[in-house]
A and B are shown apart, each in its own frame.
Chain A
């Protein structure tokens, strides 16, 4: 399998990373080299093997329903690119 240039651009769009034509072309070559390495996976039969998401077979711990957090928004917003009246500002959101 190999990635086409439009596919490279599509995934860059999905990932919201601006990519020039030249960058996309360079990325295409590198990604295809990497996918050659990855394709080695297809050589093994994994029929009947359960996928493994974590190193250990443990289950989710539950937190008690208690409010433990206090208002810190002034501290958090001190490092924000653009805020006003406690709100984060972004270019107009279109619904």
Chain B
């Protein structure tokens, strides 16, 4: 059961060989057993989860089951869920019980999925290691002395350790894909605007996008089917016809069955294989590319000349938006308020100084500075122009190829604490992932081997706008031919 796909679980539920209550309880038991060592979940509420499971069983009994009915899903603690404490990994929201549901949560609930619990994350999604959490760091299930990646590290660790069949996360600069890579699972960030941001606590509004984390591309597709969709409450939500991503996976290969990816042109940017890339990661990615060629894909050398500027531009734009987005946390209407203060300004300053952690404060300061008088043009405006150059690089590239592939992260998971005191080293972890957010493109990570310390390596795929189905199809075909995605960390049986 632990390595079953969502489709298999659904079938078991539909055939009544398993009830949602049994399935949910079995995962709750695993969380109770494994979580103390991994710290992937921050809130578990068995009563609520089981109540949802019972409702799902009733739906199944009534013959009203949908693709996710009865399936437990782990929610990153950034999604507001009515009645659930929603902390965003912060002391600021340690006692915040959401009075409403995010759009994604509404859709999952409506599809019959069960909220298994809320997962740990870098505070306000600011981090690449899940170490900046108010609730303590998340441990990597493959090696508990290492980080699981971040910011959706709790969701990634939960799926990797089989504490949840599937999870949801958010990705502002790689926060789904990088932890998926470092934890040996799959993660997808859709095209900006495909998943509503309503109820997803904002980090950087023009970059944030929700998406699924799962063991396989096929599971990602089923999740995306439910998560994607227009929402009138998000001005940036796109109105487009619904797509069945799962059906696209099954698309029968035309011609040679041994070469299901014939005709697919894979762009390999030379900039992603230069200085800074770990040789172990490089080797695993090369092997994966060779496998794709075996499946019929054609490898095309491309260039993304401005990719080196994506991290600098990202670390201007994301903190700038964040500094403003986080101004609402002022201790007036909800959230943390300092116990003692002398006046109004002091209440703001103390509440925010005590309620936010070091990394969040650092990014608020960066963002405040780059927007401040006299610096706006040199930093914020400049970054927005570079953003366009980066997006143009992709437009050029997609004239030559259909998907772009490379490493998700330059190295395998690093040791807990290794980069905690060096923000620049931490930020450089995002070097291959932030460009997709800046350009608004869909991207994903899938496991493609192991590197140093027998830690998982992720392969990064970037598609053109709305090319989720194409990406998922390619990833699924790769997973039919390989078994990296089926590996499970030792000690999580």
| A and B touch in their complex, CB below 8 angstroms | yes
CA distance A30 to B359 in the complex (A): 11
Q: Which residues of B contact A5 (CB under 8 A)?
A: none
Smallest distance from the beta carbon of B369 to chain A beta carbons, Å?
A: 5
Residue in A closest to B441 when the chains form the complex, CB atoms: A55
Contact check, A15 vs B334: say whether CB atoms are below 8 A apart: no
**Interface residue B37 (Cβ < 8 Å from any Cβ of A):** no
List, in ascending order, chain A residues with CB within 8 A of B309's CB.
Answer: 40-41, 44
- Residue interface bits A69-82, CB-to-B below 8 A is 1, else 0: 00010011011111
Asked if B440 contacts A41 (CB within 8 A), the reply is no
B273 at the interface (CB under 8 A from A): no
Kindly state the separation between the CA atoms of A18 and B335 in the bound complex, as whole angstroms: 17
Contact of A61 among B192, B235, B331 (CB under 8 A): B235
- How many interface residues does A have (CB within 8 Å)? 52
**Inter-chain contact B389/A58, CB cutoff 8 Å:** no
Residues of A within 8 A of B365 (CB): 8, 11-12, 15, 17, 27, 31
Q: Provide the bound-state CA to CA distance between A54 and B343, in Å.
A: 39
By the criterion CB–CB under 8 Å, are A44 and B356 in contact? no
A38 is contacted by which of B238, B315, B391, B439 (Cβ under 8 Å)?
A: B315
Kindly specify which of B116-124, B162-170, B375-383 makes contact with the partner chain: B375-383
Binary interface profile of B, 254-286, with partner A (CB < 8 Å = 1, else 0)? 000000000000000000000000000000000
Binary per-residue interface labels of chain A (14-42) against chain B in the complex, 1 for a CB within 8 Å, 0 otherwise: 11111100000001001101101111111
Residues of A within 8 A of B350 (CB): 18
Residues of A within 8 A of B344 (CB): 90-94
**A79-B95, A82-B337 as given contacts; A37 in contact with B312, CB under 8 Å:** yes
Residues from chain B with a CB closer than 8 A to the CB of A67 are none
- A85: CB under 8 A from chain B? no
Most chain B CB neighbours (cut-off 10 Å) among A17, A42, A49, A75: A17
Cβ contact of A46, chosen from B235, B331, B389, B438, cutoff 8 A: B389
A51 and B343 contacting across the interface, CB-CB below 8 Å: no
- Chain A residue nearest to B381 (CB atoms) is A51
Which residue, B191, B348, B465, has most C-beta atoms of chain A within 10 A?
B348
Asked if residues B316 and A38 are in contact (CB atoms below 8 Å), the reply is yes
Q: Do residues B362 and A30 form an inter-chain contact, with CB atoms below 8 A? A: yes
Q: B348 and A16: CB pair below 8 A?
A: yes
Q: Is the CB of B334 within 8 A of A52?
A: no
The chain A residue with its CB closest to the CB of B209 is A55
Task: Decide: A50 and B388 in contact? CB cutoff 8 A.
Answer: yes
For the complex, what is the distance from the CA of A58 to the CA of B332, rounded to whole Å? Answer: 35
Q: How far is the CB of A87 from chain B (nearest CB, A)?
A: 11
B427 in contact (CB, < 8 A): yes
CB neighbours of A76 from chain B (8 A): 99, 333-334
Whose C-beta in chain A lies nearest to the C-beta of B324? A15
Interface residues of B in 401-448 (CB under 8 A from A): 423-424, 427-428, 437-441
What residue of chain B has the Cβ atom nearest to residue A76's Cβ? B99
Roughly how many angstroms separate A17 CA and B306 CA in the complex, as a whole number?
Answer: 35
CB atoms of A52 and B391 under 8 A apart: yes
A34 to B362, CA, bound (A): 10
Rounded to whole angstroms, the CA-CA distance of A74 and B444 in the bound complex is 42
B366 interface residue per 8 A CB criterion: yes
Q: Are B384 and A44 in contact, with the CB atoms below 8 A? A: no
**Binary per-residue interface labels of chain B (310-324) against chain A in the complex, 1 for a CB within 8 Å, 0 otherwise:** 011101100000010
Q: How far is the CB of B467 from chain A (nearest CB, A)?
A: 14
**Bound CA span A84–B348, Å:** 20
Q: In the docked arrangement, what's the CA distance between A62 and B341, Å?
A: 42
Q: Which residue of A lies closest to B343 (CB)?
A: A91
Q: Chain B residues near A54: list those with CB within 8 A.
A: 192, 206, 236, 440
Beyond A16-B345, A27-B362, A49-B385, is A34–B423 a contact (Cβ under 8 Å)?
yes
Are A52 and B384 closer than 8 Å at their CB atoms? Answer: yes
Interface flag for B69 (CB, 8 Å): no
Question: Contacts A52-B384, A88-B333; is A14 near B97 (CB within 8 Å)?
Answer: no
Give the CA-CA distance A71 to B368 in the complex, in Å: 35
Beta-carbon contact of B424 and A33 below 8 Å: yes
Distance in Å: Cβ of B322 to nearest Cβ of chain A: 11
Q: Does B353 contact A (CB under 8 A)?
A: yes
B308 in the interface (beta carbon within 8 A): yes
- Does A49 contact B389, Cβ atoms closer than 8 Å? yes
- The contact of B352 among A3, A17, A31, by CB within 8 Å, is A17
Please name all residues of chain B whose beta carbon is closer than 8 Å to the beta carbon of A51 when the two chains form the complex. Answer: 381, 384-385, 387-388
Residues 340-378 of chain B: 1 if any A CB is under 8 Å from the residue's CB, otherwise 0?
010111111110110010000110111011001000001
CA distance A60 to B236 in the complex (A): 8
List residues of chain A with CB within 8 A of the CB of B199.
none
Q: 19 more A-B contacts (CB under 8 A) besides A12-B365, A34-B315, A41-B313?
A: A11-B372, A15-B364, A16-B345, A16-B349, A34-B427, A36-B424, A37-B427, A40-B308, A41-B312, A42-B382, A44-B389, A50-B388, A52-B385, A54-B192, A54-B206, A55-B192, A55-B193, A55-B206, A94-B344
